[in-house]
Structure 1
Amino acid sequence: MANLVGGLLVRLWALLFIFQSCQAKTVTYDFNVTWVTANPDGLFDRKVVGINNQWPLPTIEVDKGDQLVVNMFNGLGDKDTSIHFHGMYQNGTNNMDGPSMVTQCPVPPGSSFTYNFTVNQNGTYWYHCHTDYCYPDGYRQALIVHDTESYFHNMYDEEFVLTMSDWYHTLVEDIAPHFITLANPTGAEPIPQAFLVNDTMNTNLPVKAGKTYLIRLINVSAFVAQYFYIEDHTFKIVEIDGVYVDATEADTLYISVAQRYSILVTMKNSTEKNYPIVTVADSVLLDTIPSDLQLNHTNWLEYNSTAAHPQAVMKVDVASDLVPYDDMTLIPHDRMELLPDADLTIELSVVMANLDNGAGYAFFNNISYTKPKVPTLYTVMSSGNLSTNAEVYGDYTHPMILEHNQVVDIVLNNADTGSHPFHLHGHNFQLLHREPSYGKHFYDYEDSTDGLTFDASNHKAFPQYPSRRDTFVAPPMGNFVIRFVADNPGVWFFHCHIDWHLAQGLAMLMIEAPTQIQERMTIPDAAYDTCKAAGVSYEGNAAANTEDFLDLTGQNKQVAWLPAGFTTKGIVAMVFSCISAFLGMAFISFYGATGIQAKKQEENESADTDS
C-alpha cells in the first residue's frame, strides 16, 4: 500500500512539473545600450544611458518559471558595461549575475553579451549596470516577476510600479575624478541635483474609488534613501525584496538604495480629492544641502483629474516626525524558521579612512576592495584543486571561502557615522539583530565616538520567524547580524549599495562551494570572447598568473596606508595649507610684479623729468 501511495505521489509531482514546464515561456529582450539625451527634472539636458534609443528604460516583466533572455549590445562607444539582475538568485547560473570582474568581464563598446537564466522566484526586483560606477547615468529600471499564486493575488484590482531615484546633472565620468581624490579627503559623496519618481516629476497614479491597488516601490538611487507615505491613507506591506510577508498595516516606509516593498492600498469611496504621495530624501546622508535642492516631492493618487492636485503638508522635522515601519518585525508568509546556529561567523568592521594619497576610502576589516585582474569566477574555474584556497583570489578582494550548505552569520559593526545599505548577491538572508532599532532612534549614535558593537553574549533573542530580504541597512555607529545558508554555489558580491561607497571599496567576495562550482558550471565560449575583446585575462589567479596560482606578484593593490599619526583632520589641514600656500605665492608674485612695474615706471618718470 505504501509503495502504491508513493508511486502515485511521484506521478503527481511529475505531472505538476510537466504542467509548470508547459506554462513557462521564454521571454526575450534585445537591448542596444546607447547614449540618449534626457531632462527628467526639467532643469538640465544631459546624456543618459538609454536602451534602443529610449529613456526611461523598459521594465522587464516575466512570470515565475519563465526563461529570461537579454541580448545586450554595447553601443555606447566609450564605456564598458554589464547588467546585474538585482535580487535574482542565479541558482546554477552564477555566470549570469553581471558584476564585472566578479562573474564576468566588462562588455566593451561594440561587443555583445547574452544573459540567459530561469526565473524561479517571484516579486519585485530591478536591473542595473554593474561595471565601475555607471548606473547613476540612468542605466537602471524595474524587473517584475508576476505570480498568480501569491496569497494576495486576489486582494487587489490593478498594480503600479513606482521607482525612486536621485538624479545628477553631471556625468559620472566627470564626477568621479573629483570624488576619490586629495581634494575630497573626507570622502563626501556627490550631492544630487534632484529626486525623481518614475524618472520624472509630478507623477499621477489614476485610481478609482473603493478599489485596491498593489504598488511596487523600488529605490533605484545611487546614494540617497527615501521616506515614503501617502497623505490620509494607510497601506498593507505584503512583500519586501521578493519575500512575501504577512499583510502588515503601516503608514510610513524608509526605503534605502536597492530595497523594494510591495504594498496594498485601498482607495477612499469619494472622488472629491486627490491625495499626495510623498517621498522625502533622507537628508542626514547629505554632507551639505544646497539651497536649491528640493528634498521632498509630491506625486498623487489621482481620484479626479479635474480636481486640485495639492502639495503635501510636510512634517516639521523629518528625522523625528517620520517614523518608518521596522522591517525586522515583518513575518515571512512562508513561516521559514530561524536557521540553526551558524557554522561560520564572519565578523566585519566598517571603517571610512584615508590612504596614502590623501583620498577617502571604505574598508571591511582594513581591506578596501580592489578588483582582480581576472574575474573571480573564472579564477575558480581555472584554479583546479586550489579553488578552495583563498590566497588565489588575491589579498584585496577580501575573499571568504564558504563550504557547501554551511549556515553563515555576518556580524557587521558599523564604525562609520553614516548608514549603509548592504546587499548580498545570490541570496536573501534572515534579519536577526539590528542596533539601534529602525525608526526614531536610528540616528541616536550618529555623533558617537564609540558606537555600538554587537555583543554575542548579551543581545535580544533572535526572532522565531526572522524577516528576510537581500538589502539591509546598518545604522550609523551601530551593528547588525544576518544569517543565510550557503546553498547556492557561486561567487557572490557582498557590498554597500551606495554606489559611491562601492567605488571606495566597501565590498568583499563570498566564494561559495568552489568545488561544486567547477563540477556544475560551464562558461560559454562567448563569455571568454567578451574578455578577449575587452583585453582582460580570463584564466589564472587574481594577478592573472596561470603558472603559479599562489604567486600574486603584480596583483592590483589598494593604495598604501598613511604613515602613522596622520588623521583626516590633518589631511584637510594639509590640503588647505597647500592651497593657502599656493594662493599666497600667487599673491606675492602678483603684487611683487606690480611693485617692480611701479618702481620701473617711477624711475622712467624721474628720468623724463631730469631730461
Structure 2
Amino acid sequence: MLRFLVFLLLAIGEFAAAKEVVYDFNVTWVTANPDGLAERKIVGINGQWPLPVIEVDKGDRLIVNMYNGLGDKSTSIHFHGMFQNGTNDMDGASMVTQCPIPPGSSFTYNFTVNQHGTYWYHCHTEYCYPDGYRQALIIHDNTSYFADQYEEELAVTLSDWYHDMMEDIKPKFMTVYNPSGAEPIPNALLFNDTQDLSLNVKPNTTYLLRLVNIGAFVAQYFYIEDHTFTIVEIDGVYTEPTEADTLYIAVAQRYSVLLTTKNTTDKNYPIVTVADSTLLDTIPSDLRLNYTNWLQYDASAAHPQANITVEASTDLIPYDDSTLVPYDHMPLLENPALSIQLDVVMDNLDNGHGYAFLNNISYTTPKVPTLYTVLSAGDQATDPTVYGEFTHPMILGHNDVVEIILNNNDSGSHPFHLHGHNFQVLTRYPSYGADFFELADGDPVPYDPSNHSTFPAYPARRDVLVLPPEGYFVIRFVADNPGVWIFHCHIDWHLAQGLGMVFIEAPTQLQQRMTLPSDHLAACAAGGVQSEGNAAGNTKDYTDLTGQNVQPGWIPDGFTTRGIVSMVFTVLSAVLGMGSIVLYGLSDLKFASKSNGNSTSSGAEGGEEYRD
C-alpha cells in the first residue's frame, strides 16, 4: 500500500509539473560557412543557423508552429525517436504520415512527450535535411537512475557536411552516369556544427554527455584521449552502467555517457572523431577523415592535435552496442506472431540508375500519404493492396510480437531505423570487431534460425541498428502503437534509392483514434496532393491501382548491369549522332537557300566556313 501511495504521489507530481513548451519556427534560407571552406545556403530557423536545440522535460506537451518560408522547397519535421503513440499524424514523414508542407504554408506539430533521453529532429522530405535542417532534441528526466550522479549536461552533435546544395547533388547521384550508386562524398565533418571547438569542463566533475549523429551518410568513431566514460543510454533507452572508451555512432544513433573529469587542470585533451572510411567509395585527397576538438580544462593551456593516422581508423574497436543491457531488464520477447524476412540488395533498373531494394521492392512514394489512405479506406484498410505495391506495405496486428530478419547482400553497412518504436536486438552477425567495419569480400551470410548465437535474456533496445556488410541482424518489437511507420536505412542517399518499407499497424484501431487537423489537410490542398484515396489516388475503387507510382522496370534477362549501362550510353550516343547529322543537313539546306540569291562562289564559301 505504501509503495502504491509513493508511486501515486510521484505520478501526481510529474503531471502537475508538466507544461506546454512552444516553439515558433519560420523556416527560411540563410547563409553559413561552418567549416570555414565554403559559404553556402543553409536551411535556417528564425534567420539563424545552427538551429535551436529543442529541450523539454518528460511529460511536457511540445508544440512546434512551423511556417515554410523557403520559397522553393517543401518541407516537414520528423521528431526522431518519438513514439507518437496516439499522434501518428505528428510523425513528420512526408507521404507516409503527412503531405509535404509547401512554401507559404503553416503546420503545427503538437504531442505529449512521454519519453526520456537523447533524440533529434530533422526534415523528412526528399533530400532536405543534409542542407542543414537537423538538430538535437533533449528530453530531461530528473527521475533517471543516474540523475544524482552528474553535475551538468553537455550536448554534442556529429555530422558530415556538403559544400554543394542537395538540389545540385541529387541529379548527379541518381543518374545513368552513376550506375554503381556511389554515394556523394562529403567535404567535411562537423562537431556541434563547427570545427576546432573546446568544451569547457571543471576538474573532478561528472558530466552527462549526450552524443547524436545528425549526419546524412557517414558514421563516426568517438573517443577522448586518456579518458573513459560510462554508457547509460542508447536511443532513449537507459542501460546498465557500462564502461567504454570508444563508440561507433552511425547516422541517427544516440548515446548518453557519464564522463568524470580528471582532478587536474594542467592540460587539455583531444576529443577525437574519425570517419568510417569503409563507407566511402573514394577518398578525395583533400578530405580529412579525423578531427580534433578539445575537452578544455584550461583555456590558456596547449590544445594538442590527436595522434592518429587515417589508416588507424579501421583499427578502432568500439563498444558493441548489441551487448548493452537495458536498465529496466525487459525480457526477451518470445513467440513472434509475425516473422518478416527481408534481403537488402543494391542494383540497377532499366533506366541505368542505382537503386536499393528490400525483397526486390524499391520504396516508391504513393500519390496519397499512407496514413491518409488508412483513414479513408474504411473496411479495406486491412487489405495491403490499397497501399500500393511499391510502398512495400505490411499489415501488423494490434499487440502482436513482430520479428524482422534482415539479411544484407550488399558489401556496405546500413543503419536501419524504425519509426514509432524501439526494438530488441536479438542477434547480429558479424559482431563489432575488426571484421565488422571492413568491406566484405566473400559471400553474404544469411541468418540461419537453426544456427545462431543464443538470444540474450534481456536484449539491448534502440531505434537505429547497424546492419553489417554481407551479414544480418534479427530484431523484435511489440506492435502496440497503431499507426503507419516507415522502416528504412537512415543513410539519406539509400532512402532516396528506395531502401525502406511501411508497416501499417492496427489500422482499424487507428481509424477509431484519429482525426486529422485542418492545417494538415490545408497543406495537402496547397501542395496539390490528395488527402483521400488509395496509393494511386483512386477514391472509388481502392483495389484499383491504375496510375500508382512505380519503380522503373527490371533489366531484361540476359543483360548485365554493365551491358544495360553500355546500351543506354550507346542509345544516347546514337541519338546525339543522329541529331548532329540532322542539324548538319539542315545547315547545308540553310546555306543552299542563301546561295539561291547570291553567287555560287559566295554560297560555297559560306558552306565551307560553316563546316570549318
The alignment partner of 1:396 has SS state of helix
Matched, 1:350 2:344: yes
SS of alignment partner, residue 120 of structure 1: coil
Q: Which residue of 1 aligns with 2:262?
A: 268
Q: Aligned partners of 1:256 and 1:360: how far apart in 2?
A: 23
Q: Report the equivalent of 1:469.
A: 462
Counterpart of 2:562 in structure 1 is: 569
* C-alpha distance in structure 1 between counterparts of 2:471 and 2:402, whole Å: 20
**Contact persistence 1:428–1:468 (CA under 8 A):** yes
Aligned to 2:552: 559
Partner of 1:537: 530
Counterpart check, 1:18 vs 2:3 = no
For 2:493, the aligned partner's letter is: W
The residue number in structure 2 matching 1:414 is: 408
Q: Indicate the residue corresponding to 1:519 in structure 2.
A: 512
1:124 maps to 2:124? no
Q: Partners in 2 of 1:303 and 1:13 — Cα distance?
A: 42
SS at match of 1:313: coil
1-structure distance, mates of 2:241, 2:572: 58
C-alpha RMSD over aligned residues: 2.2
What residue number does 2:610 align with? Answer: none
1:304 pairs with 275, 298, 306, which one? 298
The alpha-carbon deviation at position 586 of structure 1 amounts to: 12
2:131 is matched with: 137
Residue pairs, 1:409-448, within 5 angstroms: 409-443=403-437, 446-448=440-442
1:115-264 to structure 2, matched below 5 A, reads: 115-264=109-258
Residues 585-604 of structure 1: matches in 2 within 5 Å? none
The normalised TM-score by structure 1 is: 0.92
Q: Paired residue for 1:594?
A: none
Match of 2:539 among 536, 546, 571: 546
Distance 1:235 1:16 in 2: 31
Contact 1:165–1:222, Cα closer than 8 Å, also in 2: yes
Q: Does 1:405 align with 2:399?
A: yes
Structure 2 unmatched ranges of 5 or more:
583-600, 606-612
**What secondary structure is seen at the aligned counterpart in 2 of 1:216?**
strand
Q: CA deviation at 1:214?
A: 1.1
Decide whether the 8 Å contact of 2:350 with 2:564 is kept in 1.
no
Letter in 2 for 1:356: D
1:51 to 40, 45, 48: 45
Match of 1:74 in 2: 68
**Structure 2 counterpart of 1:286, from 280, 283, 295:** 280
Pick the aligned partner of 1:91 from 62, 85, 94: 85
Paired residues, number: 586
SS in 2 for 1:53: coil
Identity over aligned residues, as a percent?
Answer: 69
Instruction: Read off the aligned partner of 1:227 and give its amino acid letter.
Output: Y
Shift in alpha-carbon separation, 1:445–1:451, aligned structure 2, 3 A = farther
C-alpha separation in 1, matches of 2:319 and 2:6 = 42
1:487 aligns with 2:480: yes
- Give 1:28's aligned residue: 22
Match of 2:608 in 1: none
Secondary structure of residue in 1 paired with 2:391: coil
Q: Which amino acid aligns with 2:429?
A: E
**1:421 touches 1:498 (CA, 8 Å); kept in 2?**
yes
Alpha carbons of structure 1 residues 582 and 57: separation in structure 2 relative to 1, 3 Å = same
C-alpha separation in 1, matches of 2:493 and 2:172: 12
Rounded to whole Å, the distance in 2 between the matches of 1:46 and 1:565 is 46
Say whether the 8 Å CA contact 2:68–2:74 is kept in structure 1. yes
3-state SS, counterpart of residue 530 of structure 1:
helix
Q: Quick check: 1:369–1:398 contact (8 Å CA) kept in 2?
A: yes
**SS of alignment partner, residue 386 of structure 1:** helix
Aligned equivalent of 1:384? 378
Deviation, structure 1 residue 581: 8.4
Rounded Cα–Cα distance in structure 2 between residues aligned with 1:372 and 1:160: 41
Deviations 1:7-32 (A, max 9, x none): x9887766544332211000000000
CA offset at residue 371 of structure 1?
Answer: 0.4
* Structure 1 unmatched runs, 5+: 590-599, 605-611
Other structure's SS at 2:390 match: coil
Provide the rounded CA distance (Å) in 2 between the counterparts of 1:71 and 1:489: 25
- Mapped contact 1:229–1:277 kept (Cα < 8 A): yes
8 A contact 1:229–1:278 mirrored in 2: yes
TM-score, scaled relative to structure 2:
0.92
Give the Cα separation in 2 of the matches to 1:236 and 1:583.
Answer: 62
1:453 corresponds to:
446
CA distance in 1, matches of 2:567, 2:131: 33
Structure 2 CA distance for aligned equivalents of residues 16 and 155 of structure 1: 20
Deviations 1:520-568 (A, max 9, x none): 1111122111111111000011011110111111111111111112223
Distance of aligned partners of 1:569 and 1:268 in 2 relative to their CA distance in 1, 3 Å threshold: same
| SS, match of residue 387 in structure 1 | helix
Conservation of the 8 A alpha-carbon contact between 1:213 and 1:264 = yes
Do residues 111 (structure 1) and 114 (structure 2) align? no
What amino acid sits opposite 2:390 in the alignment?
A: Y
- Is the CA contact 2:51–2:134 (under 8 Å) kept in the aligned structure 1? yes
Q: CA deviation at 1:295?
A: 0.7
Residues 275 and 313 in structure 2, CA contact (< 8 A), matched pair in contact too: no
Question: In the TM superposition, what is the alpha-carbon distance from 1:318 to its structure 2 partner?
Answer: 3.4
Shift of 1:241: 0.3
Code of the residue aligned with 1:542 in structure 2: it is A
Assess, with a 3 A threshold, how the Cα gap between structure 1 residues 532 and 323 changes in structure 2: closer, same or farther. same
Relative to 1, partners in 2 of residues 1:52 and 1:579: Cα closer, same or farther, differing over 3 Å? same
Matched position secondary structure for 2:526 = helix
Any idea what the Cα deviations from partners look like across 1:244-274, whole Å, max 9, x if unmatched? Answer: 1011111111000000001111111121111
1:491 CA displacement: 0.2
* Higher mean C-alpha displacement, 533-542 vs 265-274: 265-274
Paired residue secondary structure (2:389): coil
Q: SS where residue 133 of structure 1 aligns?
A: coil
Q: Distance in 2 between matches of 1:586 and 1:231?
A: 63
Q: CA deviation at 1:443?
A: 3.7
- Secondary structure at 1:284 match in 2: helix
Quote the residue 2:593 is aligned against.
none
- Going from structure 1 to structure 2, the CA distance change for 1:575 and 1:542 (only over 3 Å counts) comes to closer
Q: Which amino acid aligns with 1:35?
A: W
Aligned equivalent of 1:321: 315
1:307 & 1:321 partners in 2: Cα distance?
A: 30
Q: Partner residue of 1:367?
A: 361
8 A contact 1:331–1:465 mirrored in 2: yes
Letter in 2 for 1:311: Q
* Aligned amino acid, residue 151 of structure 2: D
